Structure 1
Amino acid sequence: MSTLKRASRNSVWLLASNIVVKLIGTYTAVAVARYLGDVGLGQYSFAVAFVSFFAIFANFGFDALLTRDIAKNKDETQRYVGNISSIKILLSLITMLILFIVSFLIDKPMVIRILLWVFGLDIIINALKGTISSALQGHEIIKYTAISQIFEKAIWALVLIFIIRMDLGITSIAFGTMITTIIGSIYLFLIYKKRLGKIVLLSDKKFWKKLFIQAWPFTLTGIFLLIYWKIDLVMLSFYQTDAVVGWYSAAYRLLELLMMAPVVLMTPLYPVFSRLAKFDKAKLKDTFKLAVRYLLILMIPIVFGVMLLGDKIILYIYGKQFVNSVIALKILIFATLFAFINYPFLMLLNSMGEQKRGTFQTGISAVLNILLNLILIPMFSYIGASITTVIAEASFLTL
């Protein structure tokens, strides 16, 4: 099968799965927001964002490295998967312990601590799931990861409906997400075993050293990306009330759904980029330009639509309790526009082995994000956080 045909087939699978996943995801996100209210959503969103900064160390950038290297040499699959799985288990256990200790050092109510503990348990599950998914992507077996996403989201929707109807509370929602993640991980593990063989944990210390050296730029890039996509929620939580965090999170959640568009297009293209970077750089350049063009054609009308109908969108989806989210949505939509360009550019750099350049650019944007948040959040609350996110995303293009 030709490169273009294979990428097209994978794109169709991802597009179909993401349409279904996003429809279900939109329903569950709205259901959670309406059930918890602005205060509860603020607490839940803080916990998710806070744990994300710990989870990045459990993954340590290995997923992107795994997909890239397997795409170039599929014979190395078992060696990479076995060693990376061992490393992730060790890192996850250390990370979970640190998170548990830190949860007692922050001035937050007990309900948030419980959320942190539950999401902390999810770290090791997601870490191993990411390894399997990345290996399948490296082999361009996108079909099964797509099915897994649909399967997992469908189960999560059913679990959430049960939780809401039984009024089990915010902590039950956290446990529900963990259960569905376990189910999705088991499915992917069975597919991997059938298609690529058993996973055998390996401990090649010399290879571990090589993996850490190659993966640290991916890790730093991931940290920096988290900073200018998640640090605002964390900082808002320490400066403002949980309700304010909920208003901001409601708008932010809608834009996270939009960010799946570049993910859908670029995920099947990443192994293609990696291969073209080695054999045909001229074709790589043309493919990248075409991808960005399609993303902009998609995004620009959405920006105008949100500016005109942002208030109606928020009120229809979340209700009057989240009316304060309207202005955040209208500001943050411009951050999403810039992100539509930044995401494929980062994947291009990674595929070419120039992850250090991507790390530098995202690092500058991340530092700018923190500094601006320190200035603007105390002055303008969640509106300041929204403005900061736009500036940080735009700054990436100027570097």
Structure 2
Amino acid sequence: MAKVETLAAQEQSSSVKKMLRRGGSISFLINSSGMALALLMQVMLARMLGAAAYGTYAFVSTVVTFLVFPTKLGFDTSIVRLVASYRAMNEWGFIKGLLRRANQIGMALSMTAMILGAVYLIFSSDSMTTERVVTYAAGLATIPLLTLATLRQSVLQALKDVLFSQMPEKIVRPIITMAILACWIGLFGNEADAGVAMISFAAAVAISWVIGAVVLRKRIGSQIEAVEPRYDTRSWTKLSVSLMLNAGMYLILGQLGVLMMGMMHSETESGLFSAAVRLATLAAFALTAVNMTAAPMLSELYATGKRKQLQHVCQTSGFSGFVFAAMLMVAFAAGGKLLLGLFGAEFRASYWPMLIMTFGQVVNAYCGQNGMMATMTGRQNALTKALIVSTILNIVLNVALIPLIGMIGAAIATTVGLVCWNVIMVVFVYRKMGILTVAWLPKRAWNRLLEAAPVPSVSGSETVQSGKEG
């Protein structure tokens, strides 16, 4: 009997690894291509615009990113969790209702954010150059489409359609942005500034949104067309708002340094630091790529009480993400100045901030799926508390260190905040769920910890109800 159970466990483990390998490979390919295109686009922008104009473009892009996140109200994360659970239970009526309600709320909030931003821009335009006004106006115009595109991407991710959930944003959008800029300069012989760059990006957002909307309709149109929508708006909203708080703090932890560099020093230095942030974030891209497949799997496996498979998903995805992050840090240490030099000679000044933040991403990858485990299993409130502590620490360190040591201070603040919440959540997930999310430990220590881990009761209802703390 024990031998049969062992064989069954091995088969299940093999099945989990195959799913992660297949989905992760597609996601890795898309993200690799997207990473290369994103880097090429940033280099192209920095070269074409110069440090000052690129700083304006990067600063406005960050402002738009901060404006977009509340308009999603956290539905981008809750959709992944809820659709995966509803699909496992064949509840297509709830899926249809959830998508309809999420898009309605997202559109209303994004239009409100865009209008309020436009009003502020009108009253502030006298103190701005024409270039900055155009850049802000074009950036604000992208808010509704960026919101809806993110919600659509979440649906396809929950359905494990890794390719089409990412292709419009990762591949199509940067290609179109660069093509428009190339035509503007090469064919028409015009000079580019931050405003032209943001208009090109806005056009690319619109085109990629149309492509994504068509893909989503073809992907699930037949399943939801004939069913009546079912709604649980109050529960969905409660869950989504909780997840939005986490998303907001993720955003602050990752991008606050860019904003504060712009406000406390200059937009030019904000642009230099933004390049370092973008490069350092690449260290986490392998873990992010695997997450596209792992996130819905975590929700489904938890809903069906398959604890061993949960552990396999965390271990497999965490290890691959950590190896990539560690290798990239070595590459950055050796060739980081050369890479930053592609943006322009001024950008080499952000070499050490880039390395400091890359180290933070290595620790993040080593800690694995702790945040995703909490989010996908109804324990997002614990993650919120950890993120609040880290966000406060990040803000305090930014305020204290940026005036003293500039970009180095912002990099230290970003890294300390990132490491802080990861360590807290690794301990929490292990103690409360019996799941060890770290990428690697000596085999003897790993086995000892797993044997001593608590075995929580698993209830599928937790994955589709909001605010339920495990």
TM-score normalized by structure 2? 0.78
Answer yes or no: is 1:48 the counterpart of 2:73: no
1:60-71 mapped onto 2 (5 Å cutoff): 60-71=73-84
Name the residue aligned to 1:87.
Answer: 105
1:339 Cα offset (Å): 2.9
Name the residue aligned to 1:168.
Answer: 192
1:3 Cα offset (Å): 5.3
2:98–2:231 Cα contact (<8 Å) kept: no
Matched residues in 1 for 2:367 and 2:113: separation? 29
Amino acid at match of 1:283: Q
Amino acid at match of 1:290: T
Structure 1 spans left out of the alignment, 5+ residues: none
Q: Match for 2:307 among 249, 267, 281?
A: 281
2:357–2:414 Cα contact (<8 Å) kept: yes
1:310-349 mapped onto 2 (5 Å cutoff): 310-315=336-341, 317-341=342-366, 344-349=369-374
Matched residues in 1 for 2:422 and 2:17: separation? 28
1:370 Cα offset (Å): 0.7
Answer yes or no: is 1:32 the counterpart of 2:45: yes
1:28–1:160 Cα contact (<8 Å) kept: no
Name the residue aligned to 2:148.
Answer: 128
> Per residue, is there more helix in 1 or in 2?
1
Name the residue aligned to 2:157.
Answer: 137
1:86 Cα offset (Å): 0.6
State the Cα deviation string for residues 108-146 of structure 1 (Å, max 9, x = none): 655334322222211110111122221122221223224
Which of the pair has the greater relative contact order for Cα pairs under 8 Å at 6+ separation?
Answer: 1
Name the residue aligned to 1:196.
Answer: 220
Q: Number of matched residues?
A: 395
Q: Match for 1:240 among 265, 287, 305?
A: 265
Find the residue that maps to 2:406 and give its secondary structure. Answer: helix
Structure 1 residues 155 and 388: CA distance shift in structure 2, 3 A: same
1:33 Cα offset (Å): 1.1
Q: Match for 1:365 among 390, 396, 403?
A: 390
2:319–2:366 Cα contact (<8 Å) kept: no
1:150-169 mapped onto 2 (5 Å cutoff): 150-165=171-186, 166-169=190-193
Matched residues in 2 for 1:5 and 1:313: separation? 35
2:78–2:243 Cα contact (<8 Å) kept: yes
Matched residues in 2 for 1:102 and 1:358: separation? 34
1:217 Cα offset (Å): 1.7
Structure 1 residues 9 and 286: CA distance shift in structure 2, 3 A: closer
Find the residue that maps to 2:63 and give its secondary structure. Answer: helix
1:41–1:246 Cα contact (<8 Å) kept: yes
Name the residue aligned to 1:210.
Answer: 235
1:214 Cα offset (Å): 0.9
Identity %: 20
Find the residue that maps to 1:327 and give its secondary structure. Answer: helix
Greater shift, 349-358 or 144-153, is seen at 144-153
Name the residue aligned to 1:185.
Answer: 209
| Structure with bigger gyration radius | 2
2:340–2:351 Cα contact (<8 Å) kept: yes
Amino acid at match of 2:360: A
Greater shift, 228-237 or 188-197, is seen at 188-197
1:37–1:321 Cα contact (<8 Å) kept: no
Answer yes or no: is 1:296 the counterpart of 2:322: yes
Name the residue aligned to 1:115.
Answer: 135
CA RMSD of aligned residues (A): 2.4
1:9 Cα offset (Å): 2.6
1:8 Cα offset (Å): 3.0
1:205 Cα offset (Å): 11
